[in-house]
């Protein structure tokens, strides 16, 4: 097979970027038979795409770099079906943003349907673009990859046939594993015990309730009141939404590189992630991979990722979040966390994705 993959979104340093980067990297590691055509479009980040291709190219790969940024691709591909990627392809794997109509079999990955379920967390343009992509996927894609059972259910509710959807889980980067956290804690001035949250600061992450739950840990009668110095550390770039009403001992570190994030996970009392909705919930898996106890929501995909290793709460209940944070001290979840994390790997993701390519190719007319 000659397999085409849109790698344009790796430039954005998001979860979708990581998915695309890791998938392509591991496909090239496990597949010695098929040829790969990598398509990248960007106006301002062409060097990132060139650098990525330079690091993974093989005799079986070719690369096309254009000025058709993801936003322009959404305009031309989704709306007018113009300027599709060149190449004689058997299968083309489009992003979750734009889907060209080519003569090849089409595969696309849909990570979540937040733009429909929580439209207030997206711009009007983003909602319109994702909706156009979803309609095209429903009509033209030969196979849709969903990253969780939860996302598959959302797609079925939208009207897409179940047989058209394959569930293939994501994975954490192998860098996420238990490490000695002392140097990272010193780097960020963390001298006290701390709970950790990681993610873009936006309403869907439910941070206001988390902060309120943390503040109640120090009310009389709570088991943790004997650790008045405990902190809540929140990592991630500012997204959007109303300003958070913070409280004492809450620290915002902003963006933290993965090599430091490993140490922060490893040194935390627990990772607390009461998100309202996640298509997969990669930070939960990263925390588990570091042996960090996890408290997360009992909604959407998060129980799929956490399995029996996590503590689950109703994310709308501040009291439940507080009680879980107090109780986690008495539980030894490290081994359960590591065992759950081993169920996911990018090699497994790549193997299952390659099977999807083979399936649609074999079913060609």
Question: Is residue 365 scored above 70 in pLDDT?
Answer: no
pLDDT in tens, 297-333: 999 999 999 999 999 999 999 999 999 999 998 888 9
Cα–Cα distance measured from residue 353 to residue 96, given in angstroms and rounded to the nearest whole number: 15
pLDDT in tens, 143-167: 999 999 999 999 999 999 999 999 9
- Average pLDDT over the chain reads 91
Residue pair 71/43 in contact (Cβ under 8 Å)? The answer is no
Better pLDDT: 222 or 362 = 362
Lowest mean pLDDT among 122-131, 145-154, 257-266, 353-362: 122-131
Which residues make Cβ contacts (< 8 Å) with residue 325, sequence separation at least 6?
Answer: 195, 213, 214, 217, 224, 270, 272, 295
**For residue 121, what pLDDT is reported?**
73
**For residue 239, what pLDDT is reported?**
63
pLDDT in tens, 18-33: 899 999 999 999 999 9
On the 0-12 / 13-18 / 19+ scale of CB atoms within 10 A, 27 is buried
**For residue 111, what pLDDT is reported?**
95
Which residues make Cβ contacts (< 8 Å) with residue 159, sequence separation at least 6?
Answer: 138
**For residue 221, what pLDDT is reported?**
57
Measured in whole angstroms, the distance separating CA 182 from the mean position of its chain's CA atoms is: 27
pTM for the full model? 0.90
Beta bridge partners of 238: 201
Selection from 68-77, 240-249, 284-293 with the highest mean pLDDT: 284-293
Better pLDDT: 179 or 126 = 179
**For residue 274, what pLDDT is reported?**
97
> What mean pLDDT comes out for the span 250-255?
91
Tokens of 282: 């990669």
Measured in whole angstroms, the distance separating CA 327 from the mean position of its chain's CA atoms is: 28
pLDDT-based confidence at residue 14 (cuts at 50, 70, 90):
confident
DSSP 80: I
Lowest mean pLDDT among 83-87, 125-129, 154-158, 277-281: 83-87
Which residues make Cβ contacts (< 8 Å) with residue 80, sequence separation at least 6?
Answer: none
**For residue 246, what pLDDT is reported?**
75
Better pLDDT: 86 or 124 = 124
Residue pair 263/185 in contact (Cβ under 8 Å)? The answer is yes
Cα–Cα distance measured from residue 246 to residue 202, given in angstroms and rounded to the nearest whole number: 14
Question: Is residue 228 scored above 80 in pLDDT?
Answer: no
**For residue 205, what pLDDT is reported?**
86
149 CB neighbour count, 10 Å cutoff: 15
pLDDT-based confidence at residue 226 (cuts at 50, 70, 90):
very low
Cα–Cα distance measured from residue 102 to residue 81, given in angstroms and rounded to the nearest whole number: 9
> What mean pLDDT comes out for the span 130-152?
96
Angle between helix 15-30 and 46-56 (nearest 10): 30
In the chain, what percentage of residues exceed pLDDT 90?
78
**For residue 236, what pLDDT is reported?**
84
Q: What share of the chain is helix, strand, coil (3-state, %, to 5)?
A: 45, 15, 40
Residue pair 265/287 in contact (Cβ under 8 Å)? The answer is yes
Which domains, from first to last, does the chain contain? 2-171+345-362 (3.40.50.2000), 182-341 (3.40.50.2000)
């Amino acid at each position: 097979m000659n397999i085409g993959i849109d790698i344009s979104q790796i430039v954005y340093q998001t979860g979708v970027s990581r998915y695309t980067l890791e998938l392509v990297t591991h496909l090239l590691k496990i597949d010695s038979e098929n040829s790969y055509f990598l398509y990248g479009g960007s106006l301002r980040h062409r060097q990132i795409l060139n650098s990525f291709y330079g690091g993974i190219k093989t005799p079986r790969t070719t690369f096309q770099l254009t000025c058709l940024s993801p936003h322009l691709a959404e305009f031309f591909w989704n709306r007018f079906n113009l300027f599709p990627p060149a190449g004689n392809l058997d299968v083309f794997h489009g992003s979750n943003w734009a889907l060209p109509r080519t003569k090849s079999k089409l595969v696309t990955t849909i990570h979540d349907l937040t733009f429909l379920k929580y439209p207030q967390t997206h711009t009007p343009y983003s909602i319109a673009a994702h909706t156009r992509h979803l309609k095209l996927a429903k009509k033209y894609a030969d196979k849709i990859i969903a990253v969780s059972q939860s996302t598959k259910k959302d797609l079925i509710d939208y009207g897409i046939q179940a047989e058209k959807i394959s569930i293939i889980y994501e994975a954490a980067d192998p860098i996420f594993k238990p490490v000695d956290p002392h140097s990272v804690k010193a780097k960020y001035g963390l001298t006290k015990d701390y709970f950790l949250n990681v993610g873009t600061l936006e309403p869907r992450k439910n941070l206001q309730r988390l902060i309120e739950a943390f503040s109640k840990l120090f009310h009389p009668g709570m088991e943790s009141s004997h650790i008045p110095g405990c902190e809540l550390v929140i990592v991630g770039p500012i997204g959007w939404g109303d300003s958070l009403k913070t409280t004492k001992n809450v620290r915002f570190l902003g963006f933290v590189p993965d090599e430091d994030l490993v140490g922060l996970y490893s040194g935390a009392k627990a990772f607390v992630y009461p998100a309202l909705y996640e298509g997969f919930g990669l930070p939960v898996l990263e925390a588990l991979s570091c042996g960090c106890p996890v408290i997360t929501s009992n909604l959407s995909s998060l129980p799929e990722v956490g399995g029996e290793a996590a503590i689950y709460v109703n994310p709308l209940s501040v009291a439940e979040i507080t009680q879980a944070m107090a109780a986690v001290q008495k539980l030894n979840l490290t081994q359960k966390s590591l065992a759950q994390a081993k169920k996911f790997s990018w090699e497994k993701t790549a193997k299952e994705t390659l099977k999807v390519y083979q399936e649609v190719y074999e079913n060609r007319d």
